[in-house]
């Protein structure tokens, strides 16, 4: 164990860390394609890109969680490998996760030194030394927490400080922050930034991942942008602006890529008035009409998925009124929602959307078991007919009705999620992140389908964190931030800049 207090000193311009041609392939997706970038001691280097651009994968490669399929990592001038997260931490690279990686039942000190506790010759934990070292690490960050306190009792900001204390405890020279401010208040964010500046003064190199433009410009020295797993370039923050970064992040001609419904709207299908849900969102007013595609844009944690789940009956509504086809209804159960034609294709297809061990056919009919059975018995042939119909319509690549969906690619799995809801023509379809993690070809097929469905008179709500997607498919867009709908855009008003401004506006 090295003492907190001694630090690496390096000339400022020499890279402390260099990534060279890092490639990482997951089944069906090239998550990183020959990405190179370098990190100087004492700088804050922002990493930007849309969801799925490869930022998190790159950082996991650095932190020893994933092994690259090609490429080199050069750390302090030596080529290294990071076989495990512990190895990465031992060499001074520390990843601070978006969802913090702390054990709530352990003490602050035990968490700081998680997996590297000081022990005596008999393997007995040296509690006094542990608590003393932890107190020293916390003190150097200006925190006076009791190292014996249980982590579960701390606020999120304080938990984050406990993670940051590891930088002192392990004498880290590279610290990666993944969306650190997602659940912080403004004051807590300012404290975090002060801590980052402090790290910077001690010559620690910081990688800062965030979607929030204002933060990037406030804290970073240089910015590297990724898109679809490829490096788009590194720029000095001082010479850059929001427009340039947005172009680098999105970088394609939107109109040729997306299909938008004509926007001939019919009667209103769903209207929400002042809808609220404890701890998720409040005062949500929203209405969507037949034939319309309504986009719902916002950052992760803004409350969009929670809103969809509340309308669908998975979450309890605590305030407000719901109108369905012009008539007020009580908050439905999922069963009732499905029966009246309100369907939700949820955010996580593996956890919420599909029963992976079941066949494609059984997954399609799962929400409609009553319609596919007679005298309590399932009608197999009828199920197979519907399976074959949607296999054709959605061009699903599967070996047959009995193939387990677990064995299919993400894009084909997503098509099964859609088929589940389409096979009993709904009136309103809420699509939460309909194209997350699927390849470009399947993406545009799903976008075309959304437009087609709307033109057939379906009301569609598309929730997405991918700005080009929301801009490309929607007739109207609502932005959500901190659990509230804060702006509405339509027609020519729907621009990237407008959306960015709306969701990153301080609240």
Partner 1 sequence: MQRSALAEFLRRNGLLVGFALFVVIVAFDAPAMLGMNNVLSVLRQISIVGVIAIGVTFVVVTERLDLSVGSGLTLLTVLVVEQHNALGPGGAIFMTLLAGAAIGAWNGLLIGYFRLNALIVTLAMLSLLQGLTLWYSGGANVNIQGASESWFPVIGRGALFGIPVPIWVLLATAVAASILLGRSRFGRSVFAVGGNETASNFSGIDSRAVVFFAYVISGVATALGAIIMGSRVLGAQSTIGQGYELTILAGIIIGGTSLLGGTGSIWRTVLGVAMLGFLNNGLLLMGYAYYVQWLVTWVVIIAAVWIDLAAKRGRILA
Choices 79-87, 156-164, 272-280, 362-370; region in contact with partner 1 by CB under 8 A:
362-370
Does 340 contact partner 1 by CB under 8 A? Answer: no
Q: Which of 377, 392, 492, 507 binds partner 1 (CB under 8 A)?
A: 377
Pick one of 52, 291, 320, 346: the residue that binds partner 1 (CB under 8 A).
346
How near is the Cβ of 327 to partner 1 at its closest, in Å?
Answer: 21
The angle that helices 127-140 and 156-169 make with each other, rounded to 10 degrees, is 100
Residue 373 near partner 1 by CB under 8 A: yes
Nearer of residues 2 and 380 to partner 1, judged by Cβ? 380
Instruction: Decide: is 316 part of the binding site for partner 1 (CB under 8 A).
Output: no
Do the Cβ atoms of 142 and 189 come closer than 8 Å? no
Residue among 51, 259, 352, 490 that touches partner 1 (CB under 8 A): 352
Binding to partner 1, residues 380-419 (CB under 8 A): 407
Nearest 5°: the CA angle 249, 73, 196 is: 60
Quote the least distance from Cβ 204 to partner 1, whole Å.
37
Stretch that binds partner 1, among 8-16, 196-204, 333-341, 463-471 (CB under 8 A): 333-341
CB of 271 to partner 1, least distance (A): 22
Burial letters 72-88, b for 16+ CB under 10 A, else e: ebebbeeeeebeebeeb
Alpha carbon of 143 to those of 76, 135, 191: distances in Å? 30, 9, 11
Nearest to partner 1 of 214, 371 (CB atom): 371
Nearer to partner 1 (CB atom), residue 369 or residue 448: 369
**Cα gap 62→69, rounded to integer Å:** 13
Q: Looking only at residues 5 through 34 of this chain, which bind partner 1 when binding is defined by CB under 8 A?
A: 27
| Piece of 218-226, 277-285, 327-335, 462-470 that binds partner 1 (CB under 8 A) | 327-335
417-456: contacts with partner 1 (CB under 8 A)? 420
Confirm if 21 and 70 have CB atoms less than 8 A apart. Answer: yes
Under the binding rule (CB under 8 A), the answer on residue 330 touching partner 1 is no
Beta-ladder partners of 327: 324
Alpha helices in 277-393 (DSSP H): 304-312, 334-340, 360-365, 380-393
Give, to the nearest 10 degrees, the angle between helix 410-422 and helix 380-393: 120
- Among residues 344, 453, 471, 480, which is the contact residue for partner 1, using CB under 8 A? 344
Contact between 319 and partner 1 (CB under 8 A)?
no
Q: For partner 1, give the closer residue by CB, 159 or 349.
A: 349
Identify whether the C-beta of residue 216 lies closer than 8 Å to the C-beta of residue 507.
no
Residue 202 interacts with partner 1 (CB under 8 A): yes or no: no
Stretch that binds partner 1, among 182-190, 335-343, 408-416, 486-494 (CB under 8 A): 335-343
Q: Could you tell me which residues are beta bridge partners of residue 174?
A: 93, 205
DSSP of 27-94: TTEEEEEEEEEEEETT-EEEEE--TTSSHHHHHHHHTTSS--SEEEEEETTEEE---SHHHHHHTTEE
* Span interacting with partner 1, options 93-101, 122-130, 334-342, 454-462, rule CB under 8 A: 334-342
Q: Which residues contact 462 (CB under 8 A, 6 or more apart)?
A: 293, 294, 295, 296, 431, 434, 450, 469, 470, 473, 474
Binding residue count for partner 1, defined by CB under 8 A: 30
Task: State the residues that interact with partner 1 by CB under 8 A.
Answer: 27, 312, 314, 333-335, 337-339, 344, 346, 351-358, 362, 366-367, 369-370, 373, 376-378, 407, 420
């Amino acid at each position: 164990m090295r003492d907190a207090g001694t630090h690496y000193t390096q000339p400022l311009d020499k890279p402390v860390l260099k990534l060279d041609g890092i490639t990482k392939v997951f089944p069906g997706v090239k998550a990183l394609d020959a990405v190179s970038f370098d990190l100087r001691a004492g700088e804050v280097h922002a990493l930007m890109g849309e969801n799925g651009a490869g930022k998190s994968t790159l950082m996991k490669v650095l932190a020893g969680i994933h092994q690259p399929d090609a490429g080199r990592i050069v750390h302090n001038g030596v080529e290294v490998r990071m076989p495990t997260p512990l190895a990465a931490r031992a060499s001074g690279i520390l990843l601070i996760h978006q969802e913090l990686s702390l054990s709530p039942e352990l003490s602050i000190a035990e968490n700081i030194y998680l997996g590297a506790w000081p022990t005596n010759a008999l393997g007995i934990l040296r509690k006094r030394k542990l608590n003393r070292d932890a107190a020293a690490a916390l003190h150097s960050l200006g925190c006076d927490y009791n190292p014996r306190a249980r982590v579960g009792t701390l606020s999120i900001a304080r938990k984050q400080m406990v993670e940051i204390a590891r930088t002192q405890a392990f004498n880290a020279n590279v610290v990666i922050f993944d969306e650190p401010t997602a659940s912080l208040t403004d004051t807590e964010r300012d404290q975090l930034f002060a801590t980052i500046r402090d790290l910077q003064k001690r010559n620690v190199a910081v990688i800062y991942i965030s979607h929030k433009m204002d933060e990037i410009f406030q804290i970073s020295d240089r910015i590297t942008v990724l898109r679809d797993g490829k490096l788009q370039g590194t720029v000095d923050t001082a010479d850059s602006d929001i427009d340039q970064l947005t172009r680098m992040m999105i970088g394609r001609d939107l109109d040729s890529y997306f299909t938008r419904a004509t926007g001939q709207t019919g009667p209103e299908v769903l209207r929400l008035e002042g809808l609220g849900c404890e701890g998720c969102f409040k005062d949500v007013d929203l209405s969507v009409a037949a034939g319309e595609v309504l986009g719902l844009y916002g950052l992760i944690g803004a409350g969009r998925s929670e809103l969809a789940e509340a309308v669908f009956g998975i979450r309890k509504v605590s305030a407000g009124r719901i109108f369905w086809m012009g008539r007020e209804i009580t908050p439905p159960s999922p069963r009732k929602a499905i029966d009246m034609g309100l369907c939700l294709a949820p955010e996580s297809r593996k956890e919420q959307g599909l029963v992976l061990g079941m066949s494609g056919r059984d997954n399609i009919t799962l929400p409609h078991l009553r319609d596919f059975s007679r005298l309590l018995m399932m009608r197999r042939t009828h199920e197979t007919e519907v399976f074959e119909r949607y296999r054709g319509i959605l061009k699903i690549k599967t070996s047959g009705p009995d193939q387990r969906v677990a064995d299919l690619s993400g894009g084909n799995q997503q098509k099964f999620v859609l088929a589940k809801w389409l096979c009993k023509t709904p009136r309103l379809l809420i699509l939460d992140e309909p194209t997350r993690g699927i390849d470009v070809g399947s993406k545009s097929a799903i976008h075309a389908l959304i437009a087609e469905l709307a033109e057939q008179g379906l009301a569609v709500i598309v929730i997405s964190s991918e700005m080009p997607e929301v801009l490309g498919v929607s007739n109207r867009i609502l932005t959500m931030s901190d659990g509230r709908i804060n702006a509405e855009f339509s027609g020519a008003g729907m621009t990237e800049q407008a959306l960015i401004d709306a969701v990153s506006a301080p609240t």
